Structure 1
C-alpha cells in the first residue's frame, strides 16, 4: 500500500510540473491558452490584479465549491485536498510564465509560437491524465471535469472537456491554443490515459 501511494505521489509531482509548464507555454506565446487558464489571464488583465497566481487560486476555489454542490457524496477532506493542489500549481504557473516571458517568446516567428503553444496543450493534457489517474489531489477545474466524466458520461474525457468549456467563462479569450484545447484536449487526455505510463491506473474511481 505504501509503495503504491508513493508511486501515485511521484506521478502527482511529475504531473504538476508538466502541467504548470504547459500552461506557462500557452500564456507566454500569447496564442490562446487552455480554457481555465485563458479565463484567469483575462480576469487578471481586465481588473489589473497583477497576480496571475492569485486569480488562478480564486478561480480554483470557486470551481471547487461547484464540484461539492454537484457531487453530494464528496467528502470535506477531498475539498481541502484539492485546495492544497491549487496553491503550488498557481505559484508554479506564475513562476514558469515569468521565466518564459523573459525569453520574449511573443516576439518569435509565428510558426515557432504555434508549435510551442500546441506543445503547451499537449503538456497540459499529459499532466492532467497523470494526476487524474493518480487521483490524490486535483486542480478543481480538472476535478470538475473528472466528476462530470465519471458520474454522467461513462468515463468519456472528450465529452467532459466540451461540457467543461461550455460552463466556463474562458470564452473571453479565444486563440489557437483555446480552440485546440476545446476540440482536442479531451481526446489527448484519453490517448495519454491509454498510452502514457500504462501501469498507472485510475485510482479511487
Structure 2
C-alpha cells in the first residue's frame, strides 16, 4: 500500500481492522499460555476472578472506566472520542474472550512450558505491533491504549517507552490489590514483566518498521517537537 493511500481515511480504516484482529488474537494467545499477559489484560483477568464475572464483561467495564479517565486527562469532555472508544471496546472485549476459549479448546494451556513461553513471546510482540498500528491510524482506540497515546503526545514529548510505563501503573495496582484479596495471581508471569519493560520499545520499533508508510494522526495538541 502506498504512503498516500495508507494515510487516507479508508487506508487507516483497513489498518484499524487489521490491528483489532491482531490485538485480540495475540492477547488471547498470551492468556491461554498462562506465561504472562499484557498488563491491562492481566488486570482484567484478575478482576474477573475477584468478582466472578466473565472476561468479556470485565474487559468492557474496565475499558469504560479508563475511557472516562482519558477525557479527564484531555481536560475536556469529548463525546466523540468517548463514542469512538466504546466502538472499539465492544468487539475487542468479546472477540478476545472468544479467542481465549478457542485456544483453550486447542489445548494451548497443556503444552510444555517451553512452547508456551515461545507462544507468549510471539503474542506479546503481536500485541505491541497491533497497538502501533491503531495508534498511528487513530480512527478509534481502545481506552487502555488511548491512555498511553494521550500521555505520549500530550505530556511526554513523544516517548513510547515512558508513556507505556506510566500507563501501566493503574493495572499493576489492580493486580496487586486483587492478589491481596484473593491470594491468587492469574495471567501474571514472566511475560507480564517482559511486557511492562519492552512493549514501549517494540511499539517504537514497529512505528518505524511495520507498515512505516502509515503515519501518526494526532487529534489533540501535541508536546512533540
Q: Report the RMSD for the aligned CA atoms in angstroms.
A: 1.6
- Mapping for residues 23-62 of structure 1, pairs under 5 Å: 23-49=27-53, 51-62=54-65
1:48 to partner: Cα distance: 1.6
Aligned residue pairs, count? 204
Partner of 1:197: 211
Aligned to 1:100: 103
Whole-Å Cα distance in 2 between the matches of residues 176 and 27 of structure 1?
Answer: 12
The question of whether the paired residues in 2 share the 8 Å contact of 1:36 and 1:170 is answered with no
Q: Distance in 1 between matches of 2:65 and 2:43?
A: 13
Of 113, 137, 145, which aligns to 1:142?
145
Distance 1:98 1:120 in 2: 16
TM-score by length of 2: 0.87
Q: What corresponds to 2:222 in structure 1?
A: none
Please give the per-residue CA displacement for 1:40-73, whole angstroms capped at 9, x wherever unaligned. Answer: 1111112221x11110000000000000111114
Indicate how the Cα distance of structure 1 residues 45 and 60 shifts in structure 2: closer, same or farther if over 3 A, else same.
same
Deviations 1:148-185 (A, max 9, x none): 11111111111111111123224454311110110000
Structure 1 gaps, min length 5: none
TM-score using structure 1 length: 0.95
2:126 paired residue number: 123
Which 5+ residue runs of structure 2 have no aligned equivalent? Answer: 180-184, 220-225
